[in-house]
Structure 1
């Protein structure tokens, strides 16, 4: 019973993290699309930070690991 509740919470948390990841990736794509074609010749930094989506992917991996540990 207790493990079922934990699994439910973890699965809900995973779905929420996936939604946040989709939003972060959408924002990153929007930032990439706003970089003009000749930006590399004018500015030294033209890359967009992907720190937020990378950290969300790590958190999803941790939740997946916890789910597999509970289902064993």
Structure 2
């Protein structure tokens, strides 16, 4: 039982230290090469920011807290 846990955790640790950063770096490299992907992400980010500012989430929350206090 101990051997199984040792093997499992050591393989998981090796995966975390080896394969995961390589996969993240490859994904980052691919995303920086794909300008369409970056434009899409920036467009979605701007859309979400404009939606949040048009809804006035933070000011509404602040007004409600001032009202109830």
Which bin holds the TM-score, normalised by the shorter protein? 0.3 to 0.5
Structure number having the greater helix percentage? 2
- Tell me which structure has the larger Cα radius of gyration: 2
Taking structure 2 as the reference length, what is the TM-score of the superposition? 0.44
Structure with larger RCO (C-alpha < 8 A, sep 6+): 1
